[in-house]
C-alpha cells in the first residue's frame, strides 16, 4: 500500500524533530486524511510530565488545524525493539475522528504491526455514547 510507505516516511522524518529531553524516547507519527493529505507530528515533552503530548495527538491536531477531520490512517515510528503502540489517550483522541482507521506501528529496523483502531480500543467512548445513555 503506497499510503503506508508515504506515512511511514513522514513519521520517520517527524521523529527527528521530537522534543524528548527527559525520556530520550523520540516518536514520530503521520495521519492520512480521506482527501489524501498527510499531517505529521512528534512527541513534545515537558518538565511537568503530565503536559507532555504524544506524536499521534500532535499529528491529529495538525490535521484538524489544517482543516481535515476525516482521518483514515496513522503510522507511528520509534526506535525500540518492537513496534510502539499508541497509548490509551491517543487511542481515544484518534477514535473521535474515525474508530475504524488503520494503524501502522513500526520501529526503525522495519518491523511493523498493523491494526484497526477499534481493535486497539474496543467499545470506545465517543459521540454516540450520549445517545446510548439517554433514558427512554
Q: How far is CA 29 from the centre of its chain?
A: 6
Entry pTM:
0.92
Catalytic, 119? Answer no
- 50 phi and psi angles, rounded to 5 deg: -65, -15
Q: What are the residue boundaries of the structural domains of the chain, listed by start?
A: 2-132
| Marked catalytic residue, from 3, 45, 56, 123 | 56
Q: List all residues 6 or more positions away from 48 whose beta carbon is below 8 Å from its beta carbon.
A: none
Q: Report d(CA 74, CA 17) in Å as an integer.
A: 18
pLDDT in tens, 47-77: 999 999 999 999 999 999 999 999 999 999 9
pLDDT in tens, 103-132: 999 999 999 999 999 999 998 887 776 555
* Helix (H/G/I), strand (E/B), else coil: 124: coil
Among the four given CATH numbers 2.40.128.720, 3.90.600.10, 1.20.1110.10, 3.40.140.10, the one describing domain 2-132: 3.40.140.10
**Beta strand ranges found along the chain (DSSP E):** 27-33, 38-42, 71-78, 102-107, 112-116
Amino acid at each position: 500500500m503506497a499510503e503506508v510507505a508515504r506515512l511511514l516516511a513522514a513519521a520517520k522524518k517527524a521523529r527527528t524533530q521530537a522534543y524528548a529531553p527527559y525520556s530520550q524516547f523520540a516518536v514520530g507519527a503521520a495521519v492520512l486524511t480521506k482527501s489524501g493529505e498527510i499531517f505529521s507530528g512528534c512527541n513534545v515533552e515537558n518538565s511537568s510530565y503530565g503536559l507532555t503530548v504524544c506524536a499521534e495527538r500532535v499529528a491529529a491536531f495538525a490535521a484538524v488545524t489544517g482543516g481535515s477531520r476525516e482521518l483514515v490512517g496513522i503510522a507511528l515510528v520509534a526506535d525500540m525493539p518492537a513496534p510502539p503502540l499508541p497509548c490509551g489517550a491517543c487511542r481515544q483522541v484518534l477514535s473521535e475522528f474515525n474508530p475504524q482507521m488503520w494503524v501502522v506501528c513500526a520501529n526503525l529496523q522495519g518491523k511493523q504491526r498493523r491494526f484497526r483502531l477499534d481493535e486497539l480500543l474496543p467499545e470506545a467512548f465517543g459521540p454516540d455514547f450520549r445517545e446510548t445513555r439517554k433514558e427512554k
